[in-house]
Structure 1
Amino acid sequence: METHVLTFTINKSFAEWVATYDASKPLQAAAGITSLYRGVSKEDPTKVCAVMQAEPGIMEAFMSDHAELVASSGHVLESTVSQVFI
């Protein structure tokens, strides 16, 4: 199991982003992803952190397969910094 810590910029409000993120939880679960945390920076409302767990390769496949949905949430894909912990 890998723990993914993603930080990225959003171009919509956190409330708008989180509505899409939370609505995608059934898709995440079907893919084998467990969402552990999502939050917004105290200092910068455009900076978000999401922490999820999945088996190797699952997170990358999900992000690729659902890039349009992820981008529609306000997630600026090219701003994503991903750290993986085992």
Structure 2
Amino acid sequence: MKYGQNFIENQKLIEVIGEMFDSVYADQLQMQITVNSSSYAVKFYESLGFSKTSEEQETDGLKYTPMHYCPLRMDGLITG
């Protein structure tokens, strides 16, 4: 009987951990990350799933390309 009770307790623990994971995962899906990439790193960021938000810009002599990453964009759930 002890084995059965441990199994039930483990199942409850697994369910709680699963709910916690779902909550954290949902929060992460809503996250957006922005970067100002150097011209040398644009392809690197694109390989990670980032997209350009505009063409290369220059501020105080520094050139950069604004980029952002939004995980839901890949699923077509967020546009913009």
TM-score (norm 2): 0.31
Bigger Rg over Cα: 2
TM-score with structure 1 setting the length:
0.30
The structure carrying a bigger strand percent of its residues is 1
